[in-house]
Amino acid sequence: MRAGVAGGVLSTLAVAAASGSASAAESTTTQTLDLSALTADLAAQIAESADATQQAAANYELQSERDAAAAQAAQQAKVDLADAKAKAAAKKAAAEAARKAAAEQAASRSAERETLSTTSTSVSAPASGSVATVIAFLKAQVGDAYVMGGTGPNSWDCSGLVQAAFKQAGVDLPRVASDQSLAGTPVSLSNIAVGDILYWGSAGSAYHVGVYIGDGQYLDAANPSKGVVIQDLSGYPATGAVRVL
């Protein structure tokens, strides 16, 4: 009987031990599974946080680039504006200088013509007649520009001026100096009179013409630097002369 009781007790202990071992094993497995799940969840959170951090960094870098570009654009705009203002100021100054120069030139020409008008008594031009018409027209052009091929009304070459002057008196002269040197009647330089055409070079191939206005002076469209002027024959003696009036 004792042996049977002992065997029963041992069997009960064995069953209890086995049951305890199974429970311990199950508990360990559950703990392992919970830890794995926790670890996986933590890893996922860390990964998500890393992605968020990386995205934030990328967004910050992009914003920084945009801010830098905006700052550079603003600076360039300031430079461009300053440039435009400087150019506008320079253009305005140049226009004002040109306006003043034109006004001074006009005033100078007006004064010169007024001087010529008040001193006309020193030029032995006829008081009336066709020659007087020619001389009056010529003197009115003093101060005009010389332009090769010019025929007026504000710029002339030598033969264009002479042709236009004589046309005022009803005389149609050839256009060029070489032909004008053959027009009318040849006269010696010692017998020239007011209104005679003077030429430089040989008759028929003259390269320049002017009109004698008396007192040893002639009027011509001289050259680009002088324009239309009154000059002394002593400074540039003519080669010959012709009379058409």
Render 1-57 in DSSP notation, one character per residue: -HHHHHHHHHHHHHHHHHHHHHHHHHHHHHHHHHHHHHHHHHHHHHHHHHHHHHHHH
User: What backbone phi and psi angles, to 5 degrees, belong to 236?
Assistant: -155, 75
Q: Are 164 and 211 spatial neighbours (Cβ–Cβ below 8 Å)?
A: no
Q: Give tens-digit pLDDT for 57-80.
A: 788 778 878 888 888 887 888 888
Q: Please tell me the distance from the alpha carbon of residue 206 to that of residue 61, in angstroms, as a whole number.
A: 85
Residue of 211, 230, 212, 215 whose CA lies nearest to 116: 230
Asked whether the predicted pLDDT for residue 202 surpasses 80, the reply is: yes
Asked whether the predicted pLDDT for residue 196 surpasses 90, the reply is: yes
Which of 4 and 54 is assigned the larger pLDDT? 54
In this prediction, residues 82-95 reach a mean pLDDT of: 67
Coil vs helix vs strand at 145:
strand
Q: Give tens-digit pLDDT for 96-140.
A: 654 565 455 545 555 544 544 443 333 333 334 799 999 999 999
Q: Cα 31 vs. chain centroid, distance in angstroms?
A: 86
Coil vs helix vs strand at 156:
strand
Q: What is the pTM of this model?
A: 0.50
* Architecture per CATH, 125-243: Alpha-Beta Complex (3.90)
In this prediction, residues 196-207 reach a mean pLDDT of: 98
User: What backbone phi and psi angles, to 5 degrees, belong to 239?
Assistant: -90, -40
